[in-house]
Amino acid sequence: MFTYKIPKNLQPQIQIGLRVIVQFGKKKVLTGIIGKVHNKPPQAYEAKPILDILDDQPSVNPLQIRFWFWMAEYYFCHIGEVMFASIPSGLRLSSESKIQANPNFDLETSKYPLDVREEKILEALEKKEELSYEDCEEILGVKTIHPILKSLVAKEAILIFEKVQEKYTPKVETRIRLKEEFVQSKGALEAIFEAVQGKPKQESILLKYLRDVPVFNKPKLNEKGVDKASLLEEGDSESSLKTLIKNGVFESFKHVVNRIDEEEAEREASLLSSTQQVAFDEIKTHFESKQSVLLHGVTGSGKTEIYIKLIQEVLESGSQVLMLLPEIALTTQIVGRLKQVFGSQMGVYHSKYSDNERVEVWNGVLSGRFPFVVGVRSSIFLPFDSLGLVIVDEEHEPSYKQFDPAPRFHARDAAIMLAYFHQAKTLLGSATPSFESYYNANQGKYGYVQLSHRFGDASLPEFFLSNISADRKKNLLKLDSTRLLREKIQHALDQQQQVIIFQNRRGYSPYVQCEDCSWTGQCVQCDVSLTYHQFAEELRCHYCGYKEKIPSSCPACGSTQLSTQGMGTERIEESLSLLFPEARMGRMDLDTTRSKYGYQRLLDEFAAGQIDILVGTQMITKGLDFGKVTVVGIWDGDRILNFPDFRAGERAYQQITQVAGRAGRRDIQGQVVIQSRNPDQELFQKVIQGDYFEFFRQEMIDRKKYYYPPFVKLVKITTRHADAKTAEKAAHALHYQMANVAVKKIVLGPEKGIIARIKNQYQYESLIKLDRQGATQSVFKENLARIIEELQSVPEFRSVRWVVDVDPS
Ligand code: ADP
Ligand code: ZN
Ligand code: ZN
């Protein structure tokens, strides 16, 4: 936040949310947004004036600015970081230095002679009004252009100025249409045909145009014309078209097109079943007295149709609706279903969108073109001005939390705040609610609505626990699969049904090890083993992206006995294709879905029945609805349980239930096989019984005893420095100060980070537990800000970085 003076002439126009140009530092010209208008001049410095106002209308509304202030304060970051995350970079302005000729300069009368290179620049400026530094480099073919420009400025031959540019570029098409006079009368058109007689190329273009645009019957159509590229698509020559334009038959014009597809709605919302209707009515009753409602509906219970009905009602009342999804790419099915009903009034805010596409959604919300947006977590920043409803689907999803960079916000929690500012309602939906939300519902803070049966005749899947150790003893384990799993898969394949195999990604990946000296590849700048990527024959670091080719012999001892350890999805896919050579395999993980449409392609193939067995990580658990999947295998159930985190139990319950929920979503009951070395564990029993409440109740006992959310608030502070000693010292200094802050409950640490070094930075983590009261948190944050500032003024800690994560997950 910086304070600027409002010059007299700009005072009448000043409004919160307008973009302005200001000078920053000595030279830089930046754009900023007006966040507050006040009359308290800063004490420490003389405020500079605002140079200019860029907009007639604010591009950010007061509700957004209020939301930004809240986010900066709650998540302990700068308002600038929130602003940066909020505004698509296409709407930010960039400034670039440009040069132009000094109009007062005259070569003839100048006191200072120019050298050859300087003259060249001036010549270029006669042809082009302005040049960038790169242009000048190119003209002269030299890299160091500064001395030359400096000399030209000194000789008063050129001026250097800052050019501020909008980065967003609308997509423009060149279109072709008939000159208006030929559309008016049939005779005129006939005359043209006579004129092009014997010129088959021109005739062909003309005929093609009339085929696409039947101007005889619908003269109005000519106005829009056709895209030039499509007119020339079938190999017609561009020069013939040029001749037709030159001869005044056609004219070409520019047209701005939408990057985002316009699709019309093509179906009505489904009629709700009587159970769905009851849930719908309950939600609305709760909304009368509560801002938020938790919809706890088992997988396949038909939550989406209930959302659709609610969205329709809110849109009809004239308010806006935002629906958050954890990852759009992973939920294309739901987006497709919504698109069918809402058509072109629905905007989609994708994480893989280009910046120009984001700007179009942003502008679509501003102009009212999209009263309804479905989007990923960053869509909470869109310029809504009258939200009536915010839906957070799969509200338990960890990916709603942003880790890096700041603001490290949780989109569900932020969405509830956003809705509060708009006086809108929030609906949280999940088959496996987060403990935070369920706790709030239990406390009566949220309304609670349950759907405990699947839609239609579908029943919930049946579970089987399969003992890996027992099978190994009896020699029944083949390529890490138990006999039971193989039988179930075989049975499904025999019936032309489909199978999904799930392998947990978290905290685990395959690596290469030397069998003789147990060497493993390590990242050169992080404290982690490199992950084995079979397809690319590489070892890669998942933290910094460092990679190297797999060595043919051990770099430590020279042995050629290198073996792969662990089971990534690639290995599982390979094992299964050996076991079921006739089955068609597919794999869905980060590697196979990196491209924008990779995920969609796999889903389409799976839907079309071109894949029999789909192996995948977390991605395959998200909202997929395929009727022919009857068997789901969980490859390594133990891996899901063993994670060193207070949320491990909660996450395991969610994950197993969600994966299992992909099975048997229509008339045939699904079967879920969990492979485990220790199948008697209690958690498995709980998931199988589906007794969420009992599971929650027991976990809460521990959470309360050991002070974990939802009973306390957590703040994690990471201390980072390139030097291990300094990092440790700084972390302890912080820790010591923190222990003196009265409001905290407990301070844990500092501990070496789970990964002690990332990108050559050593890390130490402290965990602070606070009472849930808002006042406690503000006092704590004020103290924290002061402590960090004081520590940063200690010379040896100057380059230490402190990263504060509120509500870490
Ligand atoms: P959830 O989101 O709760 O997992 P879905 O909304 O995907 O459940 O619904 C499961 C299946 O039931 C989908 O195939 C959906 O099309 C169908 N379905 C749900 N409600 C209705 C309804 N009212 N009419 C027709 N089909 C429905
Ligand atoms: Zn070795
Ligand atoms: Zn690394």
pLDDT tens digits for 85-111?
A: 888 877 765 556 678 888 878 877 777
Examine domains 462-506+569-701 and 713-806 and report if their fold is the same.
no
Of 275, 276, 277, 304, which is best to mutate to test ligand 1, by the most ligand atoms within 8 angstroms of its C-beta? 304
Tell me the torsion sign for CA atoms 296, 298, 299, 305.
negative
> 50-59, 86-95, 262-271, 416-425: lowest mean pLDDT where?
86-95
Strands across the sheet containing 158-166: 130-132, 93-101, 158-166
CA angle 296-302-307, nearest 5°? Answer: 80
Average pLDDT (759-767) is 87
pLDDT given for residue 325 in this prediction:
93
Q: What is the pTM of this model?
A: 0.77
pLDDT digits (tens, 9 = 90+) for 105-136: 887 777 788 888 999 998 999 888 888 888 88
Average pLDDT (186-205) is 82
Q: For ligand 1, atom 14, which residue shows the shortest CA distance?
A: 625
pLDDT digits (tens, 9 = 90+) for 614-636: 998 887 777 677 889 999 999 98
Bridge partners, 614 (sequence order): 500, 586
340 lines ligand 1 (CB under 6 A): no
Average pLDDT (400-425) is 95
31 lines ligand 1 (CB under 6 A): no
- Asked whether the predicted pLDDT for residue 261 surpasses 80, the reply is no
Alpha helices in 347-397 (DSSP H): 355-367
pLDDT given for residue 199 in this prediction:
87
Give per-residue burial for 331-340: e unless 16+ CB within 10 Å, then b.
Answer: bbbbbebbbb
272 lines ligand 1 (CB under 6 A): yes
Residues contributing to the annotated binding site: 514, 517, 523, 526, 541, 544, 554, 557
Between 132 and 754, the higher pLDDT residue: 132
CATH superfamily of 274-456: P-loop containing nucleotide triphosphate hydrolases (3.40.50.300)
Average pLDDT (4-30) is 78
Average pLDDT (64-73) is 94
Amino acid, res. 294: L
pLDDT digits (tens, 9 = 90+) for 307-348: 999 999 999 999 999 999 987 666 677 888 899 999 989 999
299 lines ligand 1 (CB under 6 A): yes
Between 742 and 127, the higher pLDDT residue: 127
pLDDT digits (tens, 9 = 90+) for 299-317: 889 999 999 999 999 999 9
Q: What is the Cα 760 distance to its own chain's centre? A: 27
pLDDT given for residue 489 in this prediction:
97
Average pLDDT (266-290) is 93
Phi first, then psi: give them for residue 463, nearest 5 degrees: -105, 145
Class of domain 713-806: alpha beta
CA angle 641-394-667, nearest 5°? Answer: 85
pLDDT digits (tens, 9 = 90+) for 549-607: 988 899 989 888 887 766 678 889 989 999 999 999 999 877 777 666 777 788 889 98
Between 444 and 188, the higher pLDDT residue: 444
The SS3 call for residue 788 is: helix
pLDDT digits (tens, 9 = 90+) for 666-719: 878 899 999 998 898 888 888 888 888 988 999 999 889 888 899 999 999 999
Average pLDDT (429-452) is 96
Q: What is the mean pLDDT of the chain?
A: 86
Q: pLDDT tier at 373 (50, 70, 90 boundaries)?
A: very high
Q: Which of the listed ranges 74-78, 512-516, 525-529 does the model predict with the highest average pLDDT?
A: 74-78
pLDDT given for residue 49 in this prediction:
82
Q: Where along the chain do its domains lie? A: 95-165, 171-257, 274-456, 462-506+569-701, 510-565, 713-806
Average pLDDT (38-57) is 80
Residues contributing to the annotated binding site for Zn(2+): 514, 517, 523, 526, 541, 544, 554, 557
Q: pLDDT tier at 642 (50, 70, 90 boundaries)?
A: low
Query: Distance from the CA of 272 to the center of ligand 1, in angstroms?
Result: 9
Q: For domain 95-165, give the fold.
A: Arc Repressor Mutant, subunit A (1.10.10)
- pLDDT above 90 as % of the chain: 36
pLDDT given for residue 299 in this prediction:
83
Supply 241's token pair: 């078209």
Q: Before 103, cis peptide (omega within 30)?
A: no
Query: Distance from the CA of 576 to the center of ligand 3, in angstroms?
Result: 31
Amino acid, res. 556: A
587 lines ligand 1 (CB under 6 A): no
List, as one string, the DSSP characters of 69-109. Answer: HHHHHHTT--HHHHHHHHS-GGGSEEEEEEEEE-TT--TTT
pLDDT given for residue 297 in this prediction:
93
Query: Which residues lie closer than 8 Å to 76 by C-beta, 6 or more apart?
Result: 715, 781, 784, 785, 804, 806
pLDDT given for residue 149 in this prediction:
83
Q: pLDDT tier at 168 (50, 70, 90 boundaries)?
A: low
Q: Which of the listed ranges 144-153, 256-265, 333-342, 735-744 does the model predict with the highest average pLDDT?
A: 333-342
How far, in Å, are 223, 339, 718, 737, 752 from residue 745 at the CA level?
Answer: 71, 48, 19, 14, 22
649 lines ligand 1 (CB under 6 A): no
How far, in Å, are 435, 784, 809 from residue 708 at the CA level?
Answer: 11, 21, 12
Biggest distance spanned by C-alpha atoms of the chain: 102
- Asked whether the predicted pLDDT for residue 507 surpasses 50, the reply is no
What CATH number should be reported for the domain whose range is 462-506+569-701? 3.40.50.300
- Spell out the SS3 assignment of 557-595: CCCCCEEEECCCHHHHHHHHHHHCCCCCEEEECCCCCCC
DSSP single-letter state for residue 619: G
